[in-house]
Structure 1
Amino acid sequence: MSQTDRDYSEKRDFIRMRVDADVSLIHEGDEVQAVCIDLSSSGMQLEAPRSFKVGDRLSVRIDSDHAALKGLEADTEVVWVKAQDGGGQKLGLTILKMK
């Protein structure tokens, strides 16, 4: 069963951690700065200044401020989008592969 086929309540079975961290998104060679709102073991919610669409594949990088902790790098896919006032949007991403 794909991520998009699962019902809403099942998607919420994963613990989400609010992070409010700066992230770099790479899509088709372009790098875009965004903010990660929350993170779980299977996905993340972001706020981005430009538009993406469901199905877009994004590489995500969250750098660590601590020398002892490695940052997060993952290949993801956009599973939902919600337009925001001012032209940006919130994105729901599923993690396809951790790097």
Structure 2
Amino acid sequence: MVNFDDKRNFYRMLLNSEVKVTIIDDEINSEFVATCRDLSATGMAIEMSHPLEMGTRVKAKIESANASVQALDVKGKVVRIEEEATDLYLVGIAIDDMD
């Protein structure tokens, strides 16, 4: 669990939510579904079955479970990749634009 000894500027919320990811760096705008593990004001960590290249620009959308709350729709770039197990990667995305 993330604690206050973590030197981040923003607190990370632990999640286990489906996130739709679109790679905006490629010509076909590849899309896939992943799991958002945590989220802060400046980044997110997503769990997926394949790695992305460092610096890849992506769009990520998390639908809201409540109709009165707007979906989260962000753009950012891949800044971290960790292989946690066979076919399981944790990809860190730095958010630089929010719709």
Residues 60-80 of structure 1 show CA distances to partners (whole Å, capped at 9, x for unaligned) of 000112110111001110001
Q: Give the superposition deviation at 1:13.
A: 2.4
Aligned residues: 90
In 2: Cα distance, 1:19 partner to 1:95 partner: 16
Structure ranking higher in helix proportion:
1
**TM-score, normalised on structure 1?**
0.84
Alignment-derived partner of residue 47 in structure 1? 47
AA aligned to 1:19 is: L
Q: CA deviation at 1:86?
A: 2.2
* Corresponding position of 1:15: 11
> For the residues of structure 2 that align with 1:25 and 1:88, how far apart are their CA atoms?
16
Confirm or deny that 1:58 pairs with 2:54: no
Counterpart in the other structure of 1:25: 21
Percent of residue pairs identical: 28
TM-score of the two chains, using structure 2 as the length reference: 0.84
Please name the residue that 1:67 is paired with: 67
Q: 1:88: Cα distance to partner?
A: 2.6
- 2:92 aligned with 1:96: no
- Give 2:36's aligned residue: 36
Structure 2 segments unaligned to the other structure (5+ residues): 1-5
Match of 2:76, SS? Answer: strand
> Which secondary structure state, in structure 2, belongs to the residue aligned with residue 84 of structure 1?
strand
Structure 1 residue runs of 4 or more that deviate by more than 6 Å after TM superposition:
none
Structure 1 unaligned segments of length 5 or more: list them.
Answer: 1-8
